[in-house]
A and B are shown apart, each in its own frame.
Chain A
Amino acid sequence: MATKILIPTPLRGYTDQLDEVEAEGATVGELLSDLTTRYADLRKHLYAEDGTRRNFVNIYLNDDDIRYLEKDQTPVTADDTLSIIPSVAGGAWS
């Protein structure tokens, strides 16, 4: 089952400049796993070296942040849209 994933501007260089791709999976976690298998260079920008998702990477299922759903276990269907939405953070203190 393929579900649509929206790719933000800074990651399109890793998805052949596509702003929308499809991946297979029954849950958010499975979709993201399939996505980063298809586009392996995405992985280092979405996940830290210990495998945890970087905290400024937000994953929305339709209009909802998956942190407030069932996180990576959230079920998905072919009618859903998954979005990767950046938070942009920084500051003078190291």
Chain B
Amino acid sequence: MGLQALVIQADADTGIRRHGRDAYPHECCGALIGRDHVVTEALALPNSTDEGPRRRFLVRPVDYLAAERRAAALEAELIGFYHSHPDSPARPSRYDLDHAWPTFAYVIVAVERALPGALTSWRLREDRSTFDEEPVTVRASGQ
């Protein structure tokens, strides 16, 4: 049986894509907040990597806690995180796999020459061996 689809409300989808465009040629990152596989808010967070933001992102503990607090304030859940792959496919890298947390959705948006394109979502397999892709559906906000 395939994975359950991740539903992203249109405002959140627009926010992720806009963030990817604005951050280009650097990677952007942020938190996915919602409930029951439905993302209602994409919370932009600073990319704090010191390894080169064109090919890396890092959400520091203080920003992670801000995302948890935001989810709690909305009486929602922290569903996962998103980031962009500038001029690279929307597929997770080995580095993404090595640093992944279980149960989170990892949304990746490809940004080709500053234009956001494919958007995919991935879940870490329980044995940490790989990611499984889950379908993504964009739904009008408020539905």
Contact = CB atoms under 8 A, between A and B. Distances in A.
Are A and B co-members of a single complex? yes
Interface of A: 8-11, 13-14, 44-45, 56, 58, 60, 65, 85-94
B77 interface: yes
Contacts of A65: 61
Nearest to B93: A94
A9 B68 CA distance: 8
Contacts, number: 86
A13 B104 CA distance: 11
Interface of B: 27, 29, 49, 51, 55-61, 64-65, 68, 71, 77-78, 81, 83, 85-86, 88, 92-96, 99-104, 106, 127-128
A93 B91 CA distance: 11
A87 B64 contact: yes
B93 A90 contact: yes
A90 B57 contact: yes
A90 B68 contact: no
Contacts of A93: 55-56, 93, 95
